Amino acid sequence: MTLPIYTEFIQLTLTRGGRLLPWLGPALRGIVAGTLKNRVCRQPPIQRELHWKFCRGCPHIHDCAYGLTYEPDPPSDRTVLKAVADGQRAITLTPFFPLPLEGRAGNRLQVRLLLLGHQAIGAAPAVIEAMADAGRNKGLGQDGVTFQVEQQSLPSWPTGQGSLRPGDLARRFDPSLGVLPWVRLELTSPLFLKEGAQGQAGQPVRNPGFDHLLRASLRVVGRAFAVFGAGSLEEQVDFAGLKAAAERVSTLTASWEPFDQSHHSRRGRTRYELAGLMGSAIFTDVPVSMLPWLVWGGRLGVGEHRVAGAGTWRLAAL
């Protein structure tokens, strides 16, 4: 029972300069997804515009590189709640953050491609080809900053296909494994985290504690297994016990700062403000049994806008 995961690092070399944004995640997601859909969608263009702006229910979705990555249907061989499936994508493109506001020809930007599940992993070449096409013909931002794509090999980061197993994660809070006196969590992309009572609209979390971040990690990893892995972890993991134990972890110091950036959605033809957080925190007496969940939450990304690479972090034991 595994969750297949594929990681690749891609270098974007700018071929034309222009204005950029500190967080390129939404812009990159938009041009790559749009280009990929235009390249592979089998619906006639008029029908696509009228009836297939969103892919749910399309008869071609299960052998379409766009559908398998950006708008996957729940697996047909299991029952997955619609809310769970809708909140999970098989792809994230995570650009280095933050970037300078002005890009120049020859500048290099690094992007991490992450794919979940065998079907999405098989679409990796199509995604990279779409990224290269978008870089040549669309570009980033209002100035159309064009770029070339080059796949990278980074010795300090794992790449290629691997898998996450339930046994790699603690199935319950285990105090016998001990604690780490200090753990520092530093965001590597903006965090857009909301929480609320079941059935109610979530409210932005402006000062996340360890419990907020651990709950978000449990959600994203659990959903990834349910949608793209071998099935739900609900019968195997004591989620309630882990959440309760996380509430007892204290924050030593926190330096969260607001992050705001305008975003224009071409598909939705809307403009709105992205309001999230950047920064870091140091937590004390962190149970060792919770660390794998936190590590994988930071790798997959938590909160909103994960498909654009939001909600990632790095951990360090101090």
CA distances in angstroms from 88 to 66, 210, 258, 279, listed in the order given:
14, 22, 25, 25
Q: pLDDT at residue 2 above 60?
A: yes
Q: What is the average pLDDT across 13-40?
A: 96
Task: Domains for the chain: give ranges and CATH numbers.
Answer: 3-161 (no CATH), 165-317 (3.30.70.1900)
3-state DSSP assignment of residue 86: helix
Confidence band for 24, pLDDT divided at 50, 70 and 90: very high
* Strand boundaries in 206-291, DSSP class E: 250-265, 270-287
Distance (Å, whole) CA 21 – CA 30 = 14
The confidence score (pLDDT) of residue 57 equals 86
For residue range 207-253, list pLDDT tens digits in order.
999 999 999 999 999 999 999 998 899 999 999 999 999 999 999 99
Are 302 and 193 spatial neighbours (Cβ–Cβ below 8 Å)? yes
H or E, element range at 296: helix 291-300
Cβ atoms of residues 15 and 146 within 8 Å: yes
If you ran DSSP here, which 8-state letter would residue 26 be given?
A: H
Residue 54 backbone phi and psi in degrees, to 5: -120, 145
- Is pLDDT above 70 for 86? no
Query: CA separation (Å) from 314 to 113, 194, 300, 301?
Result: 17, 20, 11, 11
Calpha distance 236→240 (Å, rounded)? 12
Q: How far apart are CA 307 and CA 94, in angstroms?
A: 8
Bridge-based pairing state of the strands 18-19 and 91-95: unpaired
What integer is the mean pLDDT of 57-84? 78
Q: What is the CA radius of gyration of the chain?
A: 20
Q: What are the pLDDT digits (tens) for 63-75?
A: 999 999 999 887 6
Average the pLDDT over 135-157 and give the result.
87
How would residue 159 be classed by pLDDT, with cut points 50, 70 and 90? Answer: confident
Of residues 288, 292, 290, 314, the one with CA closest to residue 301: 314
Instruction: Please report, rounded to a whole number, the percentage of residues in the chain having pLDDT higher than 90.
Output: 77
Cβ–Cβ under 8 Å, residues 113 and 128: yes
Q: How many Cβ atoms are within 10 Å of 148's Cβ, its own excluded?
A: 13
Asked whether the predicted pLDDT for residue 274 surpasses 80, the reply is yes
